[in-house]
Structure 1
């Protein structure tokens, strides 16, 4: 018996049969020309060539590569880890591979290839069906032209192109599934139609071997050539419909790819030159004309603009930009012309990262898929056993001709069962849902995040950059001795080496007042507390009360009452100490995002407890929490405090989401069941999170929650359809209704129902594209 790969082995290319290993090269990461199975049978395994998934037999589909969108990659709708660079079948489930981020020409290649085969199948199947059905006509006129034996040979001849050309791929997939013991839909189709075809050939050549109940009154054996070709043709019709529908499931990725222009106008030696975007280099000066798409990420050097960023952020209102403003690839310029400097090109652009994230997420597996996989593993063997039992029961207890009924019903059981409907239920919804999220400015790292987001009951939010705009500004500086300008120079100098938003605000304020900065020595950034350093021989400390206590600073009583009054207004106040003595303070304000108020109310109305975690002091935190309508908050939080707070909630069986934007939020984002990063935040925070909000406000969390609910509901609908279909279809095909209603299910009707089940799951998943978030 062929060795059945373990779960771990399925993630290793060595688990494939030798011939499969030679044909497909395994890569841990896909780049150009990689194929995977959309059912994730083998984790993240990808292939260089198209073909069939070795586990489920489905056709591999293509992964996305950016910016070289001409690279063709195919993957399997049921096994996304199967990636190949040419069309073919999935080596796991046998399904036709579909492009991951295809151009229309790639999609049409696969679709038209199957469509051409379907035309051949119909051309030969229809005459076979007519010949076979003519037996039901009294005084069959065809028998006046030729005898039934000759017509049987005609059926045989017409069946050959269908079996050995148009639909031969189904038998190849069935054979591969058996020798690798990855039993799937094509195992059942291959066995069912193969038995019917071989029975018919044998009955035509050796009629005397069969008992009388298999023969007609003409003395010839009842043949099933028409059942063979019609079943195969109906299955092929289902494959064609699936190929057409699959192109729609990746429509979001295709639309994202279309956002990138193919050329750009670069300024070279003072002259404009049109070049391919692939030739753009960092530092190039680019002219963006009215109505053009911005080719790469960068900043405006000259002019102003109104940019439509809806295709990336999901927000319909254009954004005004001025000199120094950042602009992103794929967004659309308004009615003015401007010069920009290229800062991120190729795969570094925001658009490229979005495309890659969407592609990766659409190929990932949701935890619910593990349950489906366990069921599917035993599905085909159980169906084969039911088919065998059906044959035995009908042959022993059925009406005459018993063996005919036994044979037909056993074949119908094999053909109507559809493990593909089960396998497609989750991946199709994930693929469409992830794309929908990307179009709405919600980037999802993997399918697990979608499933977990639906179960969230507690949302933790950072204050700065999450609830607030993350653009703090200095309101005032109070100096206890000397001038404010002198004190500002000291704290601005020590903040030169810090990337914290508060430090940036101080530097910006100092520059606006033309303050001269000095060199800083022995600079130290104390996470969650502040900064230290020596300026002109004096030790300067700027930060919160914890930093002051750590450094044994004296003189708190001089400013305590004033600082508390400022904090109670929701302002952030940093103490200023010179040589370990309080010399004043700086008040910093950071406006709350208007969208935060409505988003929090909406989340609370959905039963989610929203809690604010902030490194700010208790007075400021309380003031902000009251304005936001939050009954629960935690102040003076260091990164470790946020992490431990999440762990405590998780120990209480809470499902926790954490939203933040800073480096200090990264540990908490990674620990949370779902980490949500503001797209305006740090790269570390975004990397640690499972969901990224391009726009960077809490409305995106509402969208993410609504999306996760819609996707999980859609998956459950798909699974319900698949389970109900098989639960009803298999017993009906076995003849359970015959004793009560005299009804039997023809193998041809079974094939039609089987094809419909997979297609219905796909089209149900496509409904997610219309969901309002």
Structure 2
């Protein structure tokens, strides 16, 4: 039985961990707690009263639990402040995930809870990039010294080892030791510090595993190099020297360093999305005061200020028009490419772009209240949400590390008590260390990165850009695909579907309206011109061109007065519409099409239908996904008629029309609150918050930079068929990872009891270090070979 509960009182990841541990301490309960949204998924073998859960969470802190209600998770954008540094953080360092609430540190380092690098409130852009630069520098040092160590260690497996012609193995061992020092004490020293912190705070994580495994391998190797006489013959090579593990130490540390480098790079991408959003806001505005225009900073704008917006300018804040009219490009907010006609008392939104006319507006929402600021905030919040895959390494370490340590201690105690009289303590120490070494996760460090690396490369060949492994894991578990319409399902640009002429002279009518529109920058006008150009129609000269806001355009072409626009325009030019023509127009409008009347010399001569065509691949892709059990839901800022037409044509599960960015976000959060894994496909700035909030954000490569930066997957061709491909790739990669994890643990786990000496009383067999090295090599080779099979996957 699985139930969902709402948790109140959690403020950071440390709170989340406390509540999760408290619930899991109840017998028969398996709980998973998330911070955003603040809820618990609890599986129980038999019914348990909520009062028992309340007692458990109350004992962990000031937390409460109640039966889940979707209304608890309603988005309150204007009430939710931006994640701010702790009030006492000036000049200090704190965890960017706020694991310890407002706790700060005097020196830089890593968070003792999650292991992330601490940041400072005063960090400049250069300082933010310094983390990546430092890691890259350490990565180069690690590679420079690890590669020769690996070559030296593996050369012993080559018949007639050529290195022995230069120096003996004992000297080469000293060379390995010297080469390992920069890796251990410079490039990867931070991992040992994190491992130590995790031990003293008992927040066991991947660094604990890496620190103990590689640390013991290094110390064992140093001891074996300095005091080989203490080791029995079973632990020596054919050259008489103790088998050392400098290559295992440095390879593990270098792989972990690579993972950290990729993680920092991913975080910089999130910051890039916020930077792109911030670029939308203008830095200055024109304030009208005492009849004069004054240029001011947008930070100085107050509610009630009257502002002048000139042609081509960005709207500085949210407000409404109080004088004049214009056409405004709102595509960065609504996602729809067709500019919107605005007149007096109509609302305007910060960041949108004014057309060709000037107007006055009054400021109604400023600063963090504007819709653009809210979008920035939503992207920031969603980007900081905890991904399920982040807990994988911690879960492994939670059980694996203590188990291995306990087995190692037991091994030492048993050998010290029952081992050979002369060397009982030495046998105990060697076998205890052997247990730690054989359990050292060499292949574990390769298991996921290798599959992901090959999978990402395979995806790139198929036009799929994958930002991180979390996206691949979650894509395999998707229940719901939420998709934008314009630019995702459709082409994203208006195009002429047909031109109808009452007197069956469509070509002549098209020539007139294309000539009329040839000097207009309006997307609808350009669609008509492009349609005419595709038919090789030669345009005529236009005179007296005039754009009438909210109605259409008029002008004189070849001596004829031509009008193109809505019915209000025809009324203005006194052109009558026959009932037959009117019925045809209504029929087109019911299909959700944009229809413009055409009048010539005061007589309605026909109409032009403009549509945003559905991509050829959309129908097949959506059907394939729905056949796989995935619900496909369309969210669009377009009107209901157009949305209904597209949904019916594609047989979608459902759709929501007239969506603003926060509406799309709410729909995704609703599905997530029901335990669904949600993918979101979009291409516009208005999609950025939803792309960041979704378990998998999928951006069209033909879309905006903000959408691409906010998403975890990008389809270069801007084609929904790419989602079908990435779903197939995800399944193959995750299956491959599970196989790799088996290979990573199989040899090690099999070797642990042998290393502990369970076979010695019966067969006199101890685990030779050569066999341990061979087991590690086999597990690594198995992982690499298995991961490379993904290159043959057909997408």
The Cα shift of 1:441 comes to: 0.9
Aligned: 1:372 with 2:388: no
When residues 661 and 516 of structure 1 are mapped into structure 2, their CA distance, relative to the original with a 3 A threshold, is farther
Length-normalised TM-score, structure 2:
0.53
1:110-125 to structure 2, matched below 5 A, reads 110=147, 114-115=150-151, 118-119=154-155
Partner of 1:729: 751
Q: 2:610 aligned to 588, 605, 629, which one?
A: 588
Q: Is the 8 A contact 1:121 1:233 kept in 2?
A: no
2:222 is aligned to 194
Q: Secondary structure at the match of 2:723?
A: helix
Among 169, 172, 195, the alignment partner of 1:162 is: 172
- SS of equivalent residue, structure 1 residue 45: helix
User: Are the aligned partners of 1:611 and 1:632 in contact in 2 as well (CA < 8 Å)?
Assistant: yes
1:46 pairs with 2:112: no
Aligned to 1:573: 594
Change (3 A) 1:602 1:560: same
CA distance in 2, matches of 1:556, 1:653: 55
Distance 2:774 2:593 in 1: 68
How far off its partner does 1:394 sit?
0.9
What CA distance in whole angstroms lies between the structure 2 residues aligned with 1:638 and 1:222? 71
Paired residue for 2:539, among 514, 524, 530?
514
Per-residue deviation, 1:161: 0.6
Query: Per-residue displacement from partner, 1:106-126 (whole Å, max 9, x unpaired)?
Result: xxxx5x774367548979999
Q: Which residue of 2 aligns with 1:395?
A: 416
Equivalent residues of 1:610, 1:630 under 8 A apart:
yes
Paired with 1:520 and 1:9, the residues of 2 have a C-alpha distance of 65
Q: Residue 416 of structure 1 corresponds to which residue in structure 2?
A: 438
Query: What CA distance in whole angstroms lies between the structure 1 residues aligned with 2:162 and 2:435?
Result: 24
Q: 1:575 to 1:438 in 2, by over 3 A?
A: same
**Contact 2:635 2:659 (8 Å CA) reproduced:** yes
Shift of 1:169: 3.4
- Using the TM superposition, give the Cα deviation of residue 447 of structure 1 relative to its aligned residue in structure 2, in angstroms: 2.7
TM-aligned CA distance change 1:226 to 1:503, over 3 Å: farther
Matched residue, 2:103:
none
Q: Tell whether the 8 Å contact from 1:231 to 1:752 is kept in structure 2 after alignment.
A: no
Aligned partner of residue 772 in structure 1, secondary structure: coil
d(CA) in 1 for partners of 2:769, 2:433: 7
Q: Is the 8 A contact 1:415 1:747 kept in 2?
A: no
Equivalent pair of 1:625/1:632 in contact (CA under 8 Å): yes
1:327-377 CA deviation, whole Å, 9 max, x = no partner? xxxxxxxxxxxxxxxxxxxxxxxxxxxxxxxxxxxxxx9852543156458
Q: Deviations 1:377-427 (Å, cap 9, x if unpaired)? A: 896686456434312211102455644542442232132122232233222
Q: Does 1:720 align with 2:720?
A: no
Aligned CA distance change for structure 1 residues 163 and 663 (closer, same or farther; 3 Å): closer
**What SS does the corresponding residue of 1:474 show, helix, strand or coil?**
strand
CA drift at 1:567: 4.8
* Equivalent residue, structure 2, for 1:673: 695
Question: Unpaired runs of 5+ in structure 2?
Answer: 1-106, 196-210, 263-385, 571-575
Larger deviation, residues 380-389 vs 483-492: 483-492
Does 1:697 find its partner at 2:719?
Answer: yes
Looking at structure 2, the residues matched to 587 and 518 of structure 1 have their Cα atoms a distance apart, in angstroms, of 25
Q: In the alignment, what sits opposite 1:488?
A: 513
Structure 2 equivalent of residue 209 of structure 1 = none
Q: Which runs of no fewer than 5 residues in structure 1 stay unpaired? A: 15-24, 31-43, 52-59, 61-73, 75-83, 90-95, 97-109, 129-156, 204-213, 215-220, 251-364, 525-530, 549-553
SS of residue matched to 1:11: coil
- 1:28 and 1:535 mapped to 2: Cα distance? 55
| Contact kept? 2:217, 2:246, Cα under 8 Å | no
1:550-590 deviation digits (Å, cap 9, x = unpaired): xxxx999997743442256x562245699xxx988531245
Q: Distance in 1 between matches of 2:660 and 2:119?
A: 44
1:466, distance to aligned residue in structure 2 (A): 3.2
Q: Is the 8 A contact 1:491 1:576 kept in 2?
A: no
1:692 to partner: Cα distance: 1.9
Which of the numbers 110, 121, 127 marks the counterpart of 1:5? 110
Cα RMSD for the two superposed structures: 5.3
CA distance in 1, matches of 2:547, 2:128: 44
- 1:672-699 deviations in whole A, cap 9, x for unaligned? 3323233234444434433222223222
Aligned to 1:308: none
Q: Distance in 1 between matches of 2:710 and 2:109?
A: 36
CA apart distance, 1:701:
0.9
1:54-106: CA deviation from partner (whole Å, max 9, x where unpaired):
xxxxxx2xxxxxxxxxxxxx4xxxxxxxxx6x8435xxxxxx3xxxxxxxxxx
Partner of residue 472, structure 2:
450
Alignment-derived partner of residue 285 in structure 2: none
Question: After the TM superposition, which residues 221-232 of structure 1 pair with which residues of structure 2 at under 5 Å, given as runs?
Answer: 224=236, 229=241, 231-232=243-244
Aligned length: 516
In structure 1, how many angstroms separate the alpha carbons of the residues matched to 2:552 and 2:245? 78
Q: Are 2:707 and 1:711 equivalent residues in the alignment?
A: no
1:429 is aligned, of 451, 454, 472, to 451
TM-score normalised to the size of structure 1?
A: 0.54
Distance 1:193 1:638, change over 3 A: closer
SS at match of 2:244: helix
Task: Check conservation: 1:118, 1:233, Cα contact below 8 A.
Answer: no
Distance 1:597 1:758, change over 3 A: same
Distance 2:643 2:736 in 1: 40
